Amino acid sequence: MSLYRNTVWFLKGLQEYTKSGYEAAARSFVEADLEVSVSGRSFIITGANSGIGKAAACEIAKRGGTVHLVCRNEDRAKEARKDVVEQSKNENVHVHLVDMSNPRKVWEFASGFSQNHNLHVLINNAGCMVNQRELTEDDLEKNFATNTLGTYILTTALIPTLKKSENPRVITVSSGGMLVQKLNVEDLQFEEGSFDGTMAYAQNKRQQVIMTEQWAAQHKEVHFSSMHPGWADTPAVRSSMPDFYAKMKNKLRTEAQGADTAVWLAISDTASRQPSGLFFQDRKAVSTHLPLACSRSSPAEDQKLMSKLEELAAKFKYYDIHS
C-alpha cells in the first residue's frame, strides 16, 4: 500500500474531514434542504444504537419519519430508541435485533421486514473494525462479514420492497479511508499476508463504494449513494482507533456533523436530483480516488466482486430456506 496514498490522504483529511473542514463546507449548505417533512416515509438505519446511526435516526424522526433501528445489542437499542423518541417527540421508532455479521440472520430479517412493512429509505450504517483477524461462526472474516457481505445481503434483499415505494433511496455510510485502498477481489477475507484491521476496514469501505456504483447501474428505479461522514467522535472511533482518537480528539466532528450528509441524502429533494451511484462528502459528490493514486479497479474486477458476493450470499440464503 502506497506511502504516497497514505500521506496525501492524511493531509486531505486534516483539511477536510475534521470539525473545521465541516464548518468550512457548511457555509455553502442550503438550510432549506433539510426543512422537510418525511411523515409517511419509512427508514431503516443499521447500527443505529450510537454514533452516526443514532444521530441520523434523531434527525429523521424529528421530521416525522417512521424509523426502524437495526441493532445488535438489545439493551443499547432500547436505550437508543428511548433517546430518539424523547428528542424527536415521535413514537414511530422501532427496534429490530440483527447481527449484521450473520448472513442467515440478515436474510431472515430482510424477508420478515418485507412481508410486514413498506420501505422508502435504507441507510447502511452498521460497521465494525476488528483489529485482529477474527472469524464468525460461519468462518467469515468479521470485518468483511459485517461491512461488506451484511450490507450486500440486506440491500439486495430489500431492493424489491424499495422499488414498490415512491422515491426510494439507499445510502451507504462508507469512509474516506477507502481512498487509500484499491479493490483486491482476490483476497476478500484477508487470508494472505499479515492482517491489518484498519486496512481491512478501508478495503471493505472501497467495496461498499463499488457496490453502490454497481447497484445504481442495475436498478434505475432506486437512488443509490455512498458517503464519507468525516472524522467524527463516535464510540466506534474511540474503541477501534484509540491512538488516532488520542491524537485527533480535539479536531473531530460531532456525531450530528458526521451524520449530516447521510440525512441530507436520505430526505432532501436536492439529493434525489443528483445522479445515482455517487460518493458524497459534506453534501457534495466527490472523486472516489486520490490524484495519481493508481487505486482504480477494472470493470471486470468490479463485476467479479459482485459475482463473488452474490455467490456467497446465495449460499447462506439456500441453507436458510432449507433449514
Q: What is the DSSP letter of 34?
A: G
The span from the CA of 197 to the CA of 28, in Å, is: 35
Catalytic annotation on 319?
Answer: no
φ and ψ of 228, to 5 deg:
-110, 120
Grid cell locating 201: 476496514
Q: What is the signed CA dihedral for 311, 129, 156, 124, rounded to 10 degrees?
A: 180
Q: What is the signed CA dihedral for 86, 73, 210, 113, rounded to 10 degrees?
A: -80
The span from the CA of 145 to the CA of 282, in Å, is: 28
- Cβ count within 10 A of residue 17: 27
Catalytic residue among 201, 245, 318, 319: 201
Q: Is 203 left (phi over 0), alpha (psi -120 to 50) or beta?
A: alpha
- Which residues are annotated as catalytic? 201
